[in-house]
Structure 1
Amino acid sequence: MQKTICLLILTWNAVAKTPNNTERDEIMKLHAEVRENVEPPARMMMLLNYSLKLENLTEAWLKNCSYIFPDAKLYPAYAGMNYTIMSSDPKPTLTFADLKKFVAQKDKYNLTTNNCSAGVCEDYKQMVWATSTHVGCAKHQCSFLNHSSEYAACIYKPSGDLENGRPYEVGQSCSGCPAGYLCDRKQCYLPGGETFTTTSISSRLPLCGILHTTMLPIYLIMHISSVKILTWNDP
C-alpha cells in the first residue's frame, strides 16, 4: 500500500538581538519622557527601572517569531506581565528607537472615557501604566516564506488590566507616591532601588508554550516556508 505524507517545513531566523548599554539608555529615556508628559498629570507614576531578567524573557519569546505572548500557566516566569510588540513590515528591520511610534497612540486615547478614537491604544497605555516598575526589551529577525521582518518588543512588570483599566489616576504629580519614595521628573522612585537580577532561561521557548490550539492553524499558514511530499510503499 502506498502512503503519502505532507510535511510542512517551518523556518525562522535564529538571529536575536538584545540592546547594548547605549540602546538601553535610549529605551529608558523614551519611557521617562513619555511618563513625565502624560496629560492630565498623574498623582502617582513609578519611575521605570531597566530589567535584564525581562530583557532575557523578551528575547526567549521573540525567538519563536510569534506575536502571541507565552502562556503563563505553562511558563510561570511570564506571569503578571504585559508587553508591547511591533513588526518592521513592510521594512526588513527596525531599531529600538522605533518604539517611540507607540507614543503616537497618545493622541487617540481619552483617559476620561478610557476609549481609543481609532485603532489601538494599549501600547501607549502600557508605556504609561503607573504601577509598572520594570521593563526589558529585545529584537529578533524572522524569515517567513520569501520575506523577512524584525520584531521588537518590551515586557513590563507588574502588569495591569490594559483592556479595561486606566493607566493612572489624575492628580498633582507625585502626590500619591508611596511612603519613602522621592520624586524625579514627575515620577516616584525609591532611593537605592535595584532592578531584577539577570537569570538564565531557555534560549527559545517550546512552540507549545506560545500557541493556543485555536491559533495553531493560523500560525502554520503564516510560517510555512515549503511543502514536501514524501511517498513510500508498505512492504
Structure 2
Amino acid sequence: MLMDTLHVITCLCLILHQAHGHLRNVATSNPKIQESIVNTHNRLRQQVNPPASDMLKMEWNTEAQRNAYNVARLCSFLHSFPSQRKITRPIRAQCGENIFMSSDETDWDSVIQSWYDEKEFFEYGYGTIDQDEMVGHYTQVVWSTSFLVGCAVNYCSDTDFPFLYICHYCPQGNMIGKEHRPYESGRPCSTCRNSCEGKLCKKLPGNKQNLDDVQKKTVG
C-alpha cells in the first residue's frame, strides 16, 4: 500500500514538473521576461499611426501579474470577471484583459505582436473596418492611459491549445464609446505634463497629480 502511494505521488510530481517545464522560457516570474514584456508594449506604443500625443509609458505591476496568474490557472479560456481584475497600487483601478491561446509555446514578443497586428482592421477615429475581425486586443495594447501591465501564462492539459497567455492592463482600456480613439492623436508627448521618453509620456515617481489625471481620463 505504501509503495502504491509513493508511486502515485511520484507520478503526480512528474506530471507537475513536466507541466512547469513547458513554461520555463515564458514564465513571468522571471524579471527578464517581465522587462521584455514591458519593452515590447512600449515599442509598439511608440509606433502607433497616427502618432499619439498622450501615450503613457508602460511599467510592470506585480498585483496585475498576480491577478493574471490567478485567472490563467483556472484554464477557463474566457474573459474573467471584473472583480478578478482590480488593483490597489499605485492606484485603485479596474483592469482590462487580453487573452492568447496556442498549441505550442510562444514567446511573449510574438503574443503581444499578434494583438497589435489587429491594427490592420482598425481605422483611427472610426473603429473596426471589418465586423468579422477583432480589434479590441490592439486597442487595449495602445490605450494611452493603460500604463500598468502584468501578465501570466499557464499550461492547460486536455485541449488543442494548452498554452494560455493573459495580460492585465490598468487602468482598463476599451471604454464604451471611446473604442475608436484609444489615444489622442498629435505630436508625440505634446499633451504630457511630465517628461517625454521615446515618444512616450513618462510618469514621474510620486506624482499623484499625474495618477489622478490618468483616472479621470479613463473613467470620464
Query: Normalising to structure 1: TM-score of the pair?
Result: 0.67
Stretches of structure 1 lacking an aligned partner (at least 5 in a row): 1-12, 195-235
Whether the aligned pair in 1 keeps the contact of 2:53 and 2:191 (CA below 8 Å) is: yes
Deviation at 1:69, TM superposition (A): 2.8
Residue of structure 2 in register with 1:111 after alignment: 124
Amino acid at match of 2:43: E
Counterpart mapping for 1:94-109 below 5 A:
94-99=106-111, 100-109=113-122
Residue of structure 2 in register with 1:158 after alignment: 171
Whether the aligned pair in 2 keeps the contact of 1:85 and 1:153 (CA below 8 Å) is: yes
Q: How many residues align?
A: 176
Whether the aligned pair in 2 keeps the contact of 1:85 and 1:152 (CA below 8 Å) is: yes
Residue of structure 2 in register with 1:169 after alignment: 184
- Relative contact order: is structure 1 or structure 2 higher (C-alpha 8 Å, sep ≥ 6)? 1
Amino acid at match of 1:98: S
Structure with higher Rg: it is: 1
Name the one with the larger helix percent.
Answer: 2
Query: Normalising to structure 2: TM-score of the pair?
Result: 0.72
Where in structure 1 do 4 or more consecutive aligned residues deviate above 4 Å?
A: 13-16
Residue of structure 2 in register with 1:77 after alignment: 86
Q: CA 1:76–1:124 in 2, change beyond 3 Å: closer, same or farther? A: closer
Q: CA 1:87–1:162 in 2, change beyond 3 Å: closer, same or farther? A: farther
Residue identity over aligned pairs, in percent, reads 26
Q: CA 1:38–1:131 in 2, change beyond 3 Å: closer, same or farther? A: same
Measured against aligned partners, the alpha-carbon deviations of 1:56-81 in whole angstroms (never above 9, x if no partner) come to 110000111013233235x4736611
Distance 1:183 1:132 in 2: 16
Q: CA 1:190–1:68 in 2, change beyond 3 Å: closer, same or farther? A: same
Name the one with the larger strand percent.
Answer: 1
Counterpart mapping for 1:1-235 below 5 A:
15=20, 17-73=27-83, 75=84, 77=86, 80-88=94-102, 91-99=103-111, 100-117=113-130, 118-144=132-158, 147=160, 149-162=162-175, 164-165=177-178, 166-177=181-192, 179=193, 181-192=194-205
Measured against aligned partners, the alpha-carbon deviations of 1:75-96 in whole angstroms (never above 9, x if no partner) come to 47366110111000xx233222
Stretches of structure 2 lacking an aligned partner (at least 5 in a row): 1-15, 88-92, 208-220
